Amino acid sequence: MSRVGFAESVGVAALLACGSAAAYLVLHALLPAGAAFALTVPLAAAACACWLIGRAASTTGRVVVALGWCIAALALWAAAPAPVVLLSAHAILLWLLRVLFHHRGVLTGAIDFGLGMLAVAASVAAFRHTGSLLLAAWCFFLVQASFACLPARDERASPAGDNLARARHGRGCPRAPRAQRLSAFITLETLIMKHPLPALALFVATAVAVVLYPDLASHAGTTPQAPGAANSASRQAPPAVRQRPRIEVVFALDTTGSMGGLIHAAKDKIWSIAASMAQADPAPEIRMGLVAYRDRGDEYVTRVVDLSSDLDSMYAALMDFRASGGGDGPEAVNQALADAVERMSWSGDDNVYRVVFLVGDAPPHMDYQGERRYPEIVALANARGIVVNAIQCGSQHDTARIWQHIAALAQGDYITVGQNGGAVAVSTPFDGELGRLAAEMDGTRVFFGAGDAHERAARKERATAKLHAAAAPEALARRALFNASAAGEASFAGDHELVEAVTSGRVALDTIAADALPAPLAAMSAEERRAHVAAQATKRAQLKASIARLAARRDAYIAAELEARGARGDSLDDKLYDTVRRQAAEVGLHYEAEAKH
């Protein structure tokens, strides 16, 4: 049988790379990312092994070797090693096949082993830079394709070698049909060996593609599918046509013992941050999420609150976090970033400002075996169009260096605040009244629907009750400002609120079944229902107007207080707002007003 040519090997590499990416997509639809990747690697390697064994010059030992391969692959799968170790092990298994069936001499085998390890390094580097499994697999198999340029086991001395020579010179041979099938590859290989520039250009083009991919993917809005690109909790919302831009913001927040001041500030200020974002023209939809992180050995490593327009529920979860744990310096920053990028339901539309604010005072652990590190995760964020801003609390030098690196890699901002969070705390005489008006406005909500819709409404009402019972008056006042804004409508009403649905024209009241309505409305006549919904809509509009008037007086009071303190422009609120104002302009959001406090 004729030897494997370089052109044939490159063609197989392309097929294997595409097949690997496709297999991962299929498996990831059924399994978590880690499990999908752990199956994709042996499947792709097995396909390559079948090709190598099938193209061997000798048929001796094929069955035994194939059986040994299956046993080794199963053992690796059962051992569940780190991804790089798994990839390296399969590269070694492929190298052993080439040594057994395709090489001659110790030196050739040693060179090919180097190619295998170079393939692993190239694959890992490509994935860490691009987050693309397709490019990573292509680099892995392309580098190994170069083994075809090494001296073959029996090209000089075997009948297969004679057949190859006859095929190249147009003479007949016992395996003429096979030679004819490979004649195109042989001709192309001969041209490549005589003119190596095309082969060199292929490697250079691949390197250029890896280097440029993140920028190109980011501008194109591409989301590469890669191991760890999403897990079982990750959901990519389908693209949809929207009338206004959207802001999706995730806070990755260190909740170890030293972060008590900032956690308290976050509880106080999350509503003012939302209200500041809501001031854009046009008014955006706003979704927020949270990743709380500590470290291995603490009560938890990360806790995730998914992106949602229901800020009441997100805030209710934030209220439960307390500063505790840590103590050894570095924290689980890499895991927090990975969860922020991969476990959130980021939408896939173009007109979305996606942003992560990493907030902490300690650097990441870079010594955890098998854990992906921030350069790789940030590259994936870039490819998904997610900006990462790094907010450092305190002044630890090691943290500053890495936070600055993260911000630079992510094209985000590096922000410093004091250990207490640096937020401006101003109480006003209007806070209590604003909270009361907001509670009245909550009373105008009428939720409808059955099943999941009913359960979501119940959770939302429980979260709202928790806020009114435990949140500070200042926080409730800020919540009132946000909920009364156009951007706060989704958080206030949710997706099954009857008054909003009917007055906006999304739902016709007469089409809703009685069993999907609250019991008091279900007992009313159709005319009484219409009158009740109209009355609640009127009351809500009046409450919003009252909140707006009171909010203007509150803003004036805070402005005067900040001016007297000389604190305007240097608080956490202002720094976050300045960052959002500048970055959100790229999706058509424009801000003129000052930050809310």
Predicted confidence at residue 35, as pLDDT, reads 67
Record the tokens describing residue 472, joined without a space.
């500070």
The residue among 439, 413, 445, 406 whose CA lies nearest residue 537 is 445
How far, in Å, CA of 54 to CA of 52, rounded? 5
Count of beta carbons in the 10 Å neighbourhood of residue 523:
11
Strands 352-360 and 386-393: parallel
Q: Are 271 and 481 in contact (CB under 8 A)?
A: yes
The residue among 134, 136, 111 whose CA lies nearest residue 121 is 136
Q: Tell me the whole-structure pTM to 2 decimals.
A: 0.59
Question: From residue 271, how far is each of 227, 355, 476, 478, 482 by CA, in Å?
Answer: 35, 17, 8, 5, 7
Predicted confidence at residue 364, as pLDDT, reads 93
Q: Are 384 and 346 in contact (CB under 8 A)?
A: yes
DSSP-assigned letter for residue 501: H
Judged against a pLDDT cut of 70, whether residue 591 lies above it is answered with: yes
Give me the mean pLDDT over the 531-548 stretch: 94
Count of beta carbons in the 10 Å neighbourhood of residue 9:
23
DSSP-assigned letter for residue 173: -
Could you report the per-residue pLDDT of 356-388, keeping only the tens digit for each? 999 998 999 998 888 899 999 999 999 889 999
Q: In the chain, what are the domains?
A: 6-220 (no CATH), 246-424 (3.40.50.410), 431-566 (no CATH)
Give me the mean pLDDT over the 507-534 stretch: 90
Q: Are 355 and 328 in contact (CB under 8 A)?
A: no
Provide the percentage of residues in the chain whose pLDDT is more than 90: 24
Predicted confidence at residue 51, as pLDDT, reads 85
Tokens 């509009």 belong to residue = 541
Record the tokens describing residue 516, joined without a space.
């999907």
Question: From residue 450, how far is each of 153, 229, 496, 512, 529 by CA, in Å?
Answer: 71, 34, 10, 11, 18
Q: Are 388 and 378 in contact (CB under 8 A)?
A: yes
Predicted confidence at residue 240, as pLDDT, reads 38
Of 73-77, 217-221, 422-426, 591-595, where does mean pLDDT reach its minimum? 217-221
Q: Where are the alpha helices (DSSP H) in 80-132?
A: 83-101, 106-130
How far, in Å, CA of 255 to CA of 133, rounded? 33
- Strands laid side by side in the 352-360 sheet: 302-308, 285-293, 246-254, 352-360, 386-393, 414-417
Q: Are 278 and 241 in contact (CB under 8 A)?
A: no
Of 10-19, 31-40, 330-339, 578-587, where does mean pLDDT reach its minimum? 31-40
Judged against a pLDDT cut of 50, whether residue 392 lies above it is answered with: yes
How far, in Å, CA of 143 to CA of 123, rounded? 9
How far, in Å, CA of 164 to CA of 212, rounded? 40
Question: How many helices (H) and strands (E) in the chain?
Answer: 22, 6
How far, in Å, CA of 291 to CA of 251, rounded? 6
Q: Tell me how long the chain is.
A: 597
Of 128-132, 343-347, 431-435, 530-534, where does mean pLDDT reach its minimum? 128-132
β-partners of residue 414 are: 390
Predicted confidence at residue 228, as pLDDT, reads 37
DSSP three-state, residue 475: helix
> Confidence class of residue 132 from pLDDT cuts 50, 70 and 90?
confident
How far, in Å, CA of 57 to CA of 158, rounded? 8
How far, in Å, CA of 353 to CA of 278, rounded? 13
Could you report the per-residue pLDDT of 133-146, keeping only the tens digit for each? 788 888 888 888 87
Question: From residue 219, how far is each of 223, 241, 395, 532, 583 by CA, in Å?
Answer: 11, 19, 35, 49, 14
How far, in Å, CA of 550 to CA of 481, rounded? 9
The residue among 418, 348, 423, 341 whose CA lies nearest residue 374 is 341
Record the tokens describing residue 567, joined without a space.
């604190």
The widest CA-to-CA distance across the chain, in whole angstroms, is 100
